C-alpha cells in the first residue's frame, strides 16, 4: 500500500498495485483459513475431550464391575484409576480453560496430601479415612454448586467488577434454565450435608468425639432444619439472592452435623454408605450444571452403588432408611425384654486349643473387637495352625461387622486370608449346626440370638450369625461389657458357650502357641511334678466326690472342676499332633474330682475302641475310660462304645469323644476310673466311680 501510494511511473503503479492485491489476498485468505483451521481444531479438541470422557466412563464401569469380586478388585481399582487419570488430562484440553497454573497447584496439593495420608494410615483406621474422603467428594460438589450459584447471582445483580469481557459474554450466552438452578441447589445441599456429616463421622471413628450426642426434641429440630434448607434452596434458586445462598449453605452444613451427632459407632457402616451415595448424587447433579459428561456418569455410578449399599446395610442392621436419614438408631421395641438365665462360663486358652485341635470344622467370627486389638494377623496364624492339623476352617463375616462396609474383609485380606475361606452370613448360617467349634473374637450384637427370639429386644429382627447352633462356641472378649445395643448377649450364657477373657491378639497368640507341636506340654496345675514342689491354690476349691461307705479315706481333691467339650470325628494320632499323653494316665488324678461335659451329634454308628499310639498310654486305661462314658451315654437304650482320649494338663483334663445323638453327660471320676457303676435314668444322670484309692502317682 505504501509503495502504490508513492508510485510515479506507470510501471511502478502496476507493480505497486500487484503488491497490494497479493498482500491483501495473503492477509485476508490467511485469516479466514486460520480461523477455519482453529474452528476445526476446537471442534476436534472438543470431540477428543468428549471421547476421552466416554472412554473414562467405560473404564469406571469396568473397574466397578471388577471391584465386585475380591479376586479381581485390585485390577478394578487400577482400571478406575486409569479412567480418572484420562478424564483429568482430557479436561486440560477444554476450550476457554483459564487459571491453569492454579488448577495444577490445587491438583498437586489435594492429590499429594491424600496420597500421603492414605499410604500412612493403619489398616485399622481405614473407616475414618473412608469417611473423610467421602466428605471431600461431597465438599467438592458443594463448592461447585456454590461457584455456579454465586456466578449467576453476581450476573443478575450486575456485580461484574472482576469479570473479563469474554467471561461475561460466555455467561450471558448460557443463561441458566430452571432445571440447572434446581439441580445446582440440590447438588450443593447434598454435598454440604455429606461434607459436614462425614467430618463428624470421622471424628467419632477417630475417637475425637463422643459416640453419641443427644438431647430432647432432637428429631424435631433436625426436621425443622431440613425444612429450612428446602425453603432457602427454593429462594436461592428463584431470586439468586446472595444472602439466601449463604444462609442455605450454612444450614445445609448444620444439617449434616445434626444428622450424624446422635449416631453411634456400630451404625457407621450405614452412615458411611449413605454419605457415599450422597457424594455420588451431588457430583452427578453438578456435572449436569457444568455440562460435564464425565461428572454425570461417574457421579451416577457412585450414587447408585451407594444407594444399593445403604439399603443392604440398613437391612442387615434392621434399620428403615427413614431412621438413617433422621437417626433414631438403637430405639428398641416396646415391652420388657426376656430375662437371661445362667452365667458366663470361663475357659482357659489351653482347653480351647485342645477343643479346636480335635475339631473337624472350625468357624471364626471376627468383629470390631478384632480391629481394635489388631488381632487379624494372629487370628490368621491360628487358622493356619489349625489347617495344618487337618481342621476345616472358615471365616464368617456379618455385613455390618466393624465400622464401615467390608471392614472385616479388608482386615482379613490385609492379614493374607484367602478369599475362598471367607463366607458371608447367608452362606455360612446353615453350616453352623454341623460346626464343631465357633471362635468369636470381638463380635457381640451380630451374634446375639435374641435378635430372632425376643420381640422386645432393641435388635429384634436384625439378621445375625447363628453361631448359637454350633456344638461349641468360644468367645474371646476383653471383659463382661455389653455391645453397642447396650443389652446382654444371650449367646454368652448358652450351655455350649465358653468365655476366653483377655486381649484378642494375646488370646489368639496363646491359642496358636498351644497348638504348636512340642509346645503343648502338660501343665503343673494342681499336680506335684518332679522339680515342682507346689500345689495350685485353686485346687482346694474344687468339690469332692461323695465317698461311699466302703471308702473312709480322705477325699481332698487335687483338681478343680472343669468342663471339656467333645469332638465329633475320628480320633487323630496324638503323637503326630505333638501332644503328650498321661503316664500313668489317671493315677496323677488320684482322689481328684473332675467333670467332663460331653456333647455330640454324629450318625448312629458303633465303633471299636481305639487306644492312642505309643507305650505311654496303657490300653486298659483307655478301655475303662471309654466304658465309663459309653455306659453313661445311652440315647437309644444301648451302650455305644466310642473312642475317647483324655489329655491331662496337670489336674485339668481335656477330653474328646465320638458319640451319637444330642446328649450332654456329666461324669464324676475318682481314682483310676475302675468299677464304674451307672445309675438308671436319663443320659444326663451322674456316673460315680467307686474304687479303692489309687496309689500315689505323679506325671512323668
Q: What does the pLDDT read at residue 211?
A: 66
Residues 221 and 273 in one domain: yes
Which one, of 517, 512, 514, lies nearest residue 382 by Cα? 512
Residues 586 and 630 in one domain: yes
CA distances to 21, 49, 240 from 34, rounded to whole Å, are 19, 22, 41
Q: CA 187, 190, 193 angle in degrees (round to 5)?
A: 145
pTM over 0.85: no
Q: What does the pLDDT read at residue 247?
A: 93
Cα–Cα distance measured from residue 50 to residue 45, given in angstroms and rounded to the nearest whole number: 9
**8 A C-beta contact, residue 335 and residue 455:** yes
Which residues contact residue 582 at a Cβ distance below 8 angstroms, ignoring those fewer than 6 apart?
Answer: 522, 588, 616, 617, 646, 647, 648, 699
Half-sphere CA count of 261, side-chain side, radius 13 A:
13
Residues 52 and 191 in one domain: no
Residues 434 and 569 in one domain: no
Residue 109 within a domain: no
Residue 110 within a domain: no
Cα–Cα distance measured from residue 394 to residue 378, given in angstroms and rounded to the nearest whole number: 15
Query: Of residues 267, 351, 436, 445, which has the active-site annotation?
Result: 445
- Tens-digit pLDDT profile for residues 12-61: 777 778 877 887 877 777 777 776 666 666 667 777 888 888 898 888 88
Residue 696 within a domain: no
Residues 1 and 51 in one domain: yes
Q: Check whether the bond before 669 is cis (ω within 30° of 0).
A: no
Residue 342 within a domain: no
Residue 57 within a domain: yes
**8 A C-beta contact, residue 442 and residue 468:** no
Cα–Cα distance measured from residue 477 to residue 547, given in angstroms and rounded to the nearest whole number: 39
- Tens-digit pLDDT profile for residues 406-435: 888 888 888 889 988 999 888 999 999 999
- How many independent structural domains does the chain possess? 4
* Residue ranges making up the domain that contains 1: 1-97
Consecutive 10-residue averages of pLDDT for the chain (700 residues) = 72 77 78 68 74 87 81 84 90 81 90 85 77 88 88 70 59 69 91 92 81 79 92 90 91 91 74 87 89 85 85 74 57 52 83 85 91 89 90 90 80 88 90 92 87 78 88 86 70 89 89 70 30 31 31 29 29 30 29 30 27 26 30 29 31 31 29 30 31 28
Residues 320 and 426 in one domain: no
Report how far Cα 511 is from the mean position of its chain's Cα atoms: 23
Residues 495 and 546 in one domain: no
CA distances to 91, 97, 105, 147, 160 from 94, rounded to whole Å, are 5, 6, 18, 19, 24
**8 A C-beta contact, residue 327 and residue 301:** no
CATH number, residue 444? 3.40.50.1220
Residue 407 within a domain: yes
Residues 567 and 684 in one domain: yes
Residue 339 within a domain: no
Residues 157 and 306 in one domain: yes
Residues 545 and 659 in one domain: yes
Residues 497 and 360 in one domain: yes
Residue 120 within a domain: no
Residues 301 and 364 in one domain: no
Active site residue 206: no
CA distances to 668, 686, 689 from 632, rounded to whole Å, are 11, 8, 11
Amino acid at each position: 500500500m505504501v509503495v502504490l501510494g508513492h508510485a510515479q511511473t506507470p510501471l511502478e503503479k502496476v507493480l505497486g498495485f500487484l503488491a497490494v492485491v497479493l498482500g491483501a489476498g495473503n492477509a485476508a485468505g490467511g485469516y479466514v483459513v486460520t480461523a477455519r483451521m482453529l474452528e476445526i481444531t476446537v471442534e476436534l479438541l472438543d470431540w477428543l475431550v468428549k471421547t476421552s470422557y466416554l472412554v473414562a466412563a467405560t473404564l469406571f464401569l469396568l473397574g466397578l464391575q471388577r471391584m465386585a469380586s475380591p479376586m479381581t478388585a485390585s485390577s478394578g481399582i487400577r482400571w478406575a484409576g486409569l479412567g480418572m487419570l484420562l478424564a483429568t488430562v482430557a479436561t486440560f484440553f477444554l476450550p476457554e480453560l483459564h487459571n491453569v497454573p492454579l488448577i495444577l497447584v490445587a491438583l498437586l496439593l489435594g492429590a499429594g496430601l491424600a496420597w500421603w495420608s492414605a499410604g500412612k494410615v493403619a489398616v485399622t483406621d481405614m473407616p475414618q479415612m473412608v469417611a473423610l474422603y467421602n466428605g471431600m467428594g461431597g465438599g467438592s460438589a458443594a463448592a461447585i454448586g456454590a461457584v455456579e450459584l454465586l456466578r449467576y447471582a453476581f450476573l443478575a445483580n450486575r456485580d461484574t467488577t472482576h469479570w473479563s469481557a469474554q467471561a461475561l459474554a460466555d455467561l450471558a450466552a448460557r443463561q441458566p434454565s430452571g432445571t440447572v438452578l434446581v439441580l445446582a441447589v440440590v447438588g450443593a445441599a447434598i454435598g454440604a450435608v455429606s461434607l459436614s456429616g462425614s467430618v463428624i463421622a470421622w471424628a467419632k471413628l477417630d475417637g475425637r468425639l463422643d459416640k453419641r450426642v443427644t438431647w430432647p426434641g432432637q428429631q424435631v429440630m433436625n426436621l425443622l432444619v431440613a425444612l429450612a434448607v428446602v425453603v432457602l434452596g427454593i429462594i436461592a434458586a428463584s431470586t439468586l439472592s446472595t444472602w439466601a445462598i449463604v444462609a442455605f449453605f450454612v444450614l445445609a452444613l448444620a444439617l449434616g452435623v445434626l444428622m450424624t451427632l446422635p449416631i453411634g459407632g456400630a451404625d457407621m457402616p450405614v452412615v458411611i454408605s449413605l454419605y457415599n451415595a450422597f457424594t455420588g448424587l451431588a457430583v452427578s447433579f453438578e456435572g449436569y450444571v457444568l455440562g460435564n459428561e464425565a461428572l454425570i456418569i461417574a457421579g451416577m455410578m457412585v450414587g447408585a452403588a451407594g444407594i444399593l449399599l445403604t439399603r443392604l446395610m440398613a437391612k442387615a442392621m434392621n434399620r428403615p432408611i427413614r431412621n438413617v436419614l433422621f437417626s433414631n438408631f438403637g430405639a428398641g421395641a416396646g415391652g420388657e425384654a426376656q430375662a437371661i438365665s445362667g452365667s458366663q462360663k470361663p475357659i482357659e486358652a489351653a482347653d480351647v486349643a485342645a477343643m479346636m485341635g480335635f475339631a473337624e470344622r472350625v468357624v471364626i467370627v471376627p468383629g470390631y473387637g478384632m480391629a481394635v486389638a489388631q488381632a487379624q494377623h494372629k487370628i490368621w496364624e491360628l487358622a493356619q495352625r489349625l489347617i495344618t492339623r487337618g481342621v476345616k476352617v472358615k471365616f464368617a463375616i456379618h455385613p455390618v461387622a466393624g465400622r464401615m462396609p467390608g471392614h472385616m474383609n479388608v482386615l482379613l485380606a490385609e492379614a493374607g486370608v484367602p478369599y475362598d475361606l471367607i463366607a458371608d452370613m447367608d452362606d455360612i448360617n446353615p453350616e453352623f449346626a454341623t460346626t464343631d467349634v465357633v471362635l468369636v473374637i470381638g463380635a457381640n450384637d451380630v451374634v446375639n440370638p435374641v435378635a430372632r427370639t425376643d420381640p422386645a429386644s432393641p435388635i429384634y429382627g436384625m439378621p445375625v450369625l447363628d453361631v448359637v447352633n454350633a456344638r461349641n462356641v468360644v468367645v474371646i472378649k476383653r471383659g463382661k461389657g455389653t455391645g453397642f445395643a447396650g443389652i446382654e448377649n444371650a449367646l454368652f450364657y448358652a450351655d455350649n458357650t465358653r468365655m476366653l477373657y483377655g486381649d484378642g491378639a494375646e488370646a489368639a497368640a496363646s491359642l496358636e502357641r498351644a497348638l504348636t507341636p512340642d509346645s503343648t506340654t502338660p501343665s503343673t496345675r494342681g499336680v506335684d511334678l518332679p522339680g515342682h514342689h507346689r500345689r495350685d491354690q485353686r485346687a482346694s476349691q474344687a468339690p469332692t466326690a461323695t465317698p461311699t461307705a466302703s471308702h473312709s479315706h480322705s477325699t481332698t481333691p487335687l483338681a478343680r472342676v472343669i468342663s471339656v467339650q467333645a469332638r465329633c470325628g475320628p480320633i487323630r494320632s496324638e503323637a503326630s499332633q505333638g501332644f503328650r499323653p498321661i503316664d500313668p494316665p489317671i493315677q496323677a488324678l488320684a482322689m481328684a474330682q473332675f467333670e467332663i461335659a460331653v456333647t455330640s451329634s454324629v450318625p448312629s454308628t458303633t465303633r471299636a475302641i481305639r487306644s492312642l499310639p505309643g507305650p505311654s498310654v496303657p490300653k486298659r486305661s483307655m478301655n475303662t475310660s471309654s466304658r465309663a462314658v459309653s455306659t453313661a451315654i445311652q440315647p437309644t437304650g444301648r451302650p455305644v462304645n466310642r473312642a475317647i482320649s483324655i489329655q491331662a494338663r496337670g489336674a485339668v483334663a481335656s477330653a474328646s469323644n465320638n458319640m451319637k445323638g444330642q446328649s450332654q453327660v456329666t461324669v464324676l471320676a475318682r481314682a483310676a476310673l475302675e468299677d464304674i457303676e451307672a445309675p438308671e435314668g436319663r443320659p444326663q444322670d451322674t456316673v460315680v466311680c467307686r474304687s479303692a484309692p489309687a496309689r500315689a502317682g505323679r506325671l512323668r
